[in-house]
Amino acid sequence: MTLAELNKARRTHPYYIFLFCTIPYCWAKAKTLEEYKLVYTTVGPVVALLLSYFYINWKFRRNLWVEEKDTFVGDQIRKTLLEMVPDDLQITDDEKNRLSKEEIYRELTGVFWEAIDRSDRLRALKDHFYSNGIGYSTSLDVSIICWLAAVAYALASLPTRSAEFVWGSAVLMAISIASWLFVTPGRRARHLALSAEQLDLLRREQIEFVRTRFREIITAWRAKKAK
């Protein structure tokens, strides 16, 4: 699977989750299998498309994914980053704190991707890393979207007194909880393992390139601060 295909999957998978979540509504509205198919192929895609559009641009969703990565994978990357800073730069504790938090952190982590693109083995590993990342982020999306849909169906069941909405809410809530408790931790562990493997290979194959680029960036950063 190419990176372009992976990026497309990352953008489109919320649509399919929302489409799945319309099943209880379609079932409640239909009296026969033919009616169900008609509603599912007309109303379902329209609702899923609109909701996925707003969801993808929803700040909470982006913040959750960023927080998830920073809490787990980010901590691993920050530690490796500081280990690769050349000793002759004599980085102080205050500078270490800034290097892992300020804008320069983005520049330094960008060096990792530069180094990865210089090696065929590292590029191959990057594809696996991105592929697992799609599954990782999807597990979070399943938790969020199914939870929201479960709440919506539970509220809708009150005025409509629809048993389908009650059952739909229960099933979607169960899926949300299962994804959060079982799927996400497994994907997270796999992501951390791939990240550690990637960083270890990078350290062994591209350490001199990384240190040279780090020296250039940190020297320029210090000079800018001194002005």
Q: How confident is the model at residue 11 (pLDDT cuts 50, 70, 90)?
A: low
SS (HEC) of 177-206: HHHHHHHHHHHHHHHHHHHHHHHHHHHHHH
How far is C-alpha 155 from the chain's CA centre?
29
Collapsing DSSP to helix, strand or coil, 32 comes out as coil
Q: Residue 208, by phi and psi: left (phi above 0), alpha (psi -120 to 50) or beta?
A: alpha
The domain segmentation of the chain, as residue ranges, is 59-226
- Summarised one tens digit per residue, pLDDT across range 84-128 is 999 999 998 888 888 877 778 889 989 998 998 888 888 888 777
| 66, 141 Cβ separation under 8 angstroms | no
pLDDT at residue number 8: 54
SS3 content of the chain, % helix, strand, coil (to 5): 90, 0, 10
pTM, 2 dp: 0.81
Is the pLDDT at 158 greater than 60? The verdict is: yes
- Summarised one tens digit per residue, pLDDT across range 192-221 is 898 888 889 998 999 999 999 999 999 999
For the chain, the average pLDDT equals: 88
